Amino acid sequence: AQSVAQPEDQVNVAEGNPLTVKCTYSVSGNPYLFWYVQYPNRGLQFLLKYITGDNLVKGSYGFEAEFNKSQTSFHLKKPSALVSDSALYFCAVRVPLLSGSARQLTFGSGTQLTVLP
């Protein structure tokens, strides 16, 4: 079974400071990893993904994430936080479809990011 853990329910950071939102995963086989952001009463918006290749992935709005296979982590980062980055962030994992197992994306429980002015 595949699973995702986001150990922090809440992350607070001052505007202009770097931010990190943590994610660890458990999956059999090579993972496909995703980050999504959700604003209040809205659906999820895709930020970035890791499929293969370079461990540092760059995505939308200046976000990036680093895949670390040995630590089974995929932490989301941004060098300089903005107040408008305040939202709920979800990490998600699945295995490649050709693996024949779960096709669905499994999400973590989410981390509420608050950027303080």
Partner 1 sequence: DTGVSQDPRHKITKRGQNVTFRCDPISEHNRLYWYRQTLGQGPEFLTYFQNEAQLEKSRLLSDRFSAERPKGSFSTLEIQRTEQGDSAMYLCASVGQITGELFFGEGSRLTVL
Binding region for partner 1 (CB under 8 A): 4, 32, 34, 36, 41-46, 49, 51, 90, 92, 94, 97, 102-110
Q: Are strands 19-21 and 73-78 parallel, antiparallel or unpaired?
A: antiparallel
* Residue 62 Cβ vs partner 1, minimum distance, rounded to whole Å: 19
Q: Residue 89 CB, nearest distance to partner 1 (Å)?
A: 10
Taking the C-alpha atoms of residue 110 and residue 81, their distance in angstroms, rounded to an integer, is 18
Structure tokens at 9: 């329910």
Q: Residue 60: what are its φ and ψ, rounded to 5°?
A: -75, 155
Instruction: Return the number of the residue (42 or 58) whose C-beta is nearest partner 1.
Output: 42
Output the smallest distance, CB 117 to partner 1, in A: 25
Q: What whole-number distance in Å separates Cα of residue 73 and Cα of residue 46?
A: 18
CB of 74 to partner 1, least distance (A): 14
Query: Nearer Cβ to partner 1, position 17 or 45?
Result: 45
Q: Which is nearer to partner 1, 14 or 51 (CB)?
A: 51
Query: Between 8 and 15, whose beta carbon lies closer to partner 1?
Result: 8
DSSP character for 88? E
Q: What are phi and psi of 99, to 5 degrees?
A: -65, -20
Structure tokens at 116: 């303080």
